[in-house]
């Protein structure tokens, strides 16, 4: 028997989150990244004379920008100004987080999504380390696959890096998008972009004008386009899915610069 929602929303649900664990790939600037430790154990509080029930619970330590996550406006600044022209001051950037542009301000994302699968377009399994995907290639994929991302949509790019989630060194060497690719996406008016790599652009990409992380500056700080990182896109690609309903719900971590997410695609 098919689920009640299937006729309206799609035939299959795709989980786009990578599993979280202590040894998952983490950018050096966000180390130690993730730790989960049991705090209370079943054997510690089991009292059979009071009944058969016992419980366990743990403590979680996690940097916001680890695992599959979304960047908030407060994550990046342009000459110490956040998106919208708000200057970074001690009143805006406090010890307990941001009073402007925190991740709690990102709405629930329920929008049309598009997958640009670069490896399948090139006829390869994945892209070489630190390879670049520019605007011309994204436009060529759109033309060849008849993809029509529009204002308010979510644009996801797969470079094949999701298959290296169990190899941090290789994952950090991922291919990614160029500054002009980011501007191409921005011209479409998309609400958010995402990729199966650590930071949309390749780690270490330096623009001669903007310096490191130029796509973050162009997308997030200058245009308010959210960035979703470390996505798992291989199943969408395997099934040839290019258009879908994209659902992504950031946690309301007040003042935080990002949030873990578990995005799904319905197609």
CATH number of the domain that residue 254 is part of: 3.50.30.50
Average pLDDT, the chain: 96
Question: Residue 32: pLDDT above 70?
Answer: yes
- Is the domain of 54 the same as that of 142? no
- Is the domain of 110 the same as that of 164? yes
Question: Residue 6: pLDDT above 80?
Answer: no
Residue 263, classed as helix, strand or coil, is: coil
The residues near 58 (Cβ < 8 Å, ≥ 6 apart) are 36, 37, 38, 39, 40
| Pairing, β 192-195 against β 226-229 | parallel
- Is the domain of 100 the same as that of 214? yes
- Is the domain of 122 the same as that of 53? no
- Is the domain of 230 the same as that of 108? yes
Does the residue 6 lie in any domain?
no
Domain tally for the chain? 2
Listed range (30-34, 129-133, 240-244) with the worst mean pLDDT: 30-34
Are 231 and 200 within 8 A, CB to CB?
no
d(CA 156, CA 217): 18
| Pairing, β 57-62 against β 34-40 | antiparallel
| Closest by CA position to 33, among listed 20, 19, 42, 44 | 20
Please report the DSSP string for 136-191 in residue order.
HHHHHHHHHHT----TT-EEEEE-SGGGGTT-HHHHTT--EE-HHHHHHHHHTT-S
- Is the domain of 147 the same as that of 211? yes
State residue 173's pLDDT score: 97
Percent of the chain residues topping a pLDDT of 90: 95
Does the residue 24 lie in any domain?
no
- Is the domain of 127 the same as that of 37? no
Looking up tokens 């940097």 gives 63
| Pairing, β 69-71 against β 243-248 | unpaired
Burial of 55 (0-12, 13-18, 19+ CB in 10 A): exposed
* Dihedral of alpha carbons 139, 145, 146, 150, sign: negative
State residue 188's pLDDT score: 98
- Is the domain of 219 the same as that of 117? yes
Question: Residue 8: pLDDT above 70?
Answer: no
d(CA 211, CA 76): 13
State residue 4's pLDDT score: 66
- Is the domain of 73 the same as that of 47? no
- pLDDT tens track for 225-264: 999 999 999 999 999 999 999 999 999 999 999 999 999 9
- pLDDT tens track for 152-205: 999 999 999 999 999 999 999 999 999 999 999 999 999 999 999 999 999 989
- pLDDT tens track for 51-84: 999 999 999 999 999 999 999 999 999 999 999 9
Q: How confident is the model at residue 5 (pLDDT cuts 50, 70, 90)?
A: low
d(CA 149, CA 139): 11
Q: How confident is the model at residue 11 (pLDDT cuts 50, 70, 90)?
A: confident
Looking up tokens 């430790």 gives 37
Domain around 34: 29-61
Residue 215, classed as helix, strand or coil, is: helix
Average pLDDT over residues 14-22: 98
Are 30 and 66 within 8 A, CB to CB?
yes
User: Which helix H or strand E contains 235, and what residues bound it?
Assistant: helix 234-238
d(CA 97, CA 257): 8
């Amino acid at each position: 028997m098919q689920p009640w929602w299937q006729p309206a929303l799609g035939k299959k649900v795709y989980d786009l989150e990578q599993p979280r664990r202590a040894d998952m790939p983490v950018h050096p600037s966000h180390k130690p990244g993730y730790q989960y430790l049991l705090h209370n154990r079943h054997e510690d509080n089991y009292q059979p004379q009071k009944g058969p029930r016992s419980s366990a619970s743990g403590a979680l330590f996690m940097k916001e920008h680890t695992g599959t996550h979304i960047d908030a406006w407060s994550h990046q600044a342009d000459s110490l100004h956040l998106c919208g022209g708000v200057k970074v001051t001690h009143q805006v950037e406090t010890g307990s987080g941001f009073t402007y542009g925190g991740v709690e301000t990102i709405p629930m994302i329920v929008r049309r999504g598009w997958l640009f699968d670069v490896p399948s377009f090139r006829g390869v399994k994945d892209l070489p380390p630190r390879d670049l995907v520019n605007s011309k290639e994204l436009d060529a994929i759109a033309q060849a696959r008849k993809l029509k991302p529009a204002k308010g949509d979510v644009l996801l790019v797969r470079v094949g890096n999701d298959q290296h989630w169990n190899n941090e060194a290789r994952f950090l060497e991922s291919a990614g998008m160029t500054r002009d690719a980011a501007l191409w996406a921005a011209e479409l008016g998309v609400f958010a972009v995402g990729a199966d790599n650590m930071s949309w652009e390749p780690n270490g990409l330096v623009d001669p004008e903007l310096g490191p992380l130029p796509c973050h500056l162009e997308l997030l700080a200058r245009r308010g386009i959210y960035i979703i990182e470390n996505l798992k896109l291989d199943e969408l690609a395997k099934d040839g899915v290019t258009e879908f309903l994209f659902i992504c719900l950031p946690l309301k971590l007040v003042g935080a610069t990002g949030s873990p997410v578990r995005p799904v695609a319905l197609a």
